[in-house]
Amino acid sequence: MTMTPKDTLTMGLVGSGFITEFHLKSMLGVRNVKVGGVYSRSEENRQRIVDLAAELGLGPCTSFSSLDGMLEDEGIDAIWILSPNHTRLDIMRQIHAAVTEKRSKIVAVACEKPLARTIGEANEMLRLAEDAKLNHGYLENQVFCTPVLRGKEIIWRRAAANAGRPYLARAAEEHSGPHAAWFWQGDKQGGGVLNDMMCHSVEVARHLLTDPAKPRSSLKIKAVNGTVANLKWTQPKYAQQLSERYGPDVDYRNRPSEDFARATITLEDEEGNDLMIEATTSWAYVGAGLRIQLELLGPEYSMEFNSLATGLKIFMSREISGAEGEDLVEKQNAEQGLMPVLEDEAGIYGYTDENRHMVECFRKGETPSETFMDGVAVVQMLMGLYYSAEEGRTVTFPAEELENYVPMVARVGAN
């Protein structure tokens, strides 16, 4: 893709919730970018984002009451899809129509994780982006976490070059449960915690194992084995808590989705060596807040990262009381005692480097290091894991039976 680089990329945001605010905050560390517009259904939500963009000096940001209105605005260069999983494909279809009918001049689209809820949907997302000749980026922030960028660079340059490639990556992401009703609804979200959080773990592990000089496709997925379970949120007391918090839309007594998932994934490199990913995720972890744990092991070396083993810790005695918040760490569970604090969450979780990379690629017409193709590969691994858990056996790849597969928890009540 060749084009004259744009001096500034003006982005339009679809969605105005939790992740949109995180992306906006991270843009403070990104150059050559402006936030030109936001579209979501409620005017109040859009105004919150317009105000935040102004406060951060990223605007002027216009509140658009229709997606077509934002797509047809000549000032918008690229779209960031940051709305819930069940809205993705319709939004992408609208983008495709506006671009192919020449009503929109956008050149690129970035989409939050997971790219889609099934392999069929993921393939369609990719097809629509390519058919409209749009540059595309898959927003997997953990690939851009500052400890991952730094750790991978050192391991491959100093250790792997000396002693041989890494062979085992471990990744875990756990917290005490998501913040909005749709995450808990299997048909809307596409599954439970396996879909919601293991998409991060499998991709960051695959990224760590990939030779930096080679594409992600240099590693072939050979087999996947998954387990899912309901550990916490189906217990009557906790199912009741969900009903009280979200009303009848979330019925964990009758329509639960998994709150625990485990995966082993066997891969093969170009020399025929076996590599392993071990991943575990849960919505049943009550610690200080969100915990990401990553490890990479090779013949004479290892690296590890734990997002809650922070350098900065704050102690507050029982005499200090205050409102609940997420001001110390994401998905925070306490406001007293010895608390870890991530002093730059947007950076450490990867949003700043992710957006810097996407903005620079879109501005210059270059292909990002994470595209919708990687998003498709992630969905293939996730569907393989759900199928493995449902069948109680290891699934070997390529697995044609996954093409039309819908996870059991997404089938219940599916519309």
Q: Which residues bind ligand NAP (CB under 6 A)?
A: 14-20, 40-42, 45, 82-85, 87, 112-113, 141, 180
147 or 365: whose CB is closer to ligand NAP? 147
**Helix axis angle, 119-131 to 88-100, nearest 10°:** 20
Compute the least distance from the CB of residue 408 to ligand NAP, in Å: 20
CB count within 10 Å of CB 393 equals 10
Compute the least distance from the CB of residue 357 to ligand NAP, in Å: 14
DSSP state letter for 211: -
Compute the least distance from the CB of residue 131 to ligand NAP, in Å: 22
83 or 332: whose CB is closer to ligand NAP? 83
**Type of residue at 188:** K
Comparing C-alpha atoms, which of 26, 33, 29 is closest to residue 61? 33
15 or 137: whose CB is closer to ligand NAP? 15
**Type of residue at 315:** F
For 63, 108, 326, 408, the CA distances from 50, given in Å and listed in that order, are 7, 22, 22, 39
Query: Strand, helix or coil at 79?
Result: strand
Compute the least distance from the CB of residue 354 to ligand NAP, in Å: 9
Calculate ∠ Cα 335-340-344, nearest 5°. Answer: 110
Compute the least distance from the CB of residue 22 to ligand NAP, in Å: 7
For 110, 123, 189, 413, the CA distances from 119, given in Å and listed in that order, are 18, 6, 14, 19
Please name the residue that has the structure tokens 């998994």: 258
Calculate ∠ Cα 51-55-57, nearest 5°. Answer: 115
Q: Strand 337-341 to strand 312-316: parallel, antiparallel, or no bridges (unpaired)?
A: antiparallel
61 or 82: whose CB is closer to ligand NAP? 82
Return the structure tokens found at 249: 């839309």
Compute the least distance from the CB of residue 348 to ligand NAP, in Å: 12
45 or 333: whose CB is closer to ligand NAP? 45
42 or 235: whose CB is closer to ligand NAP? 42
Compute the least distance from the CB of residue 14 to ligand NAP, in Å: 5
17 or 69: whose CB is closer to ligand NAP? 17
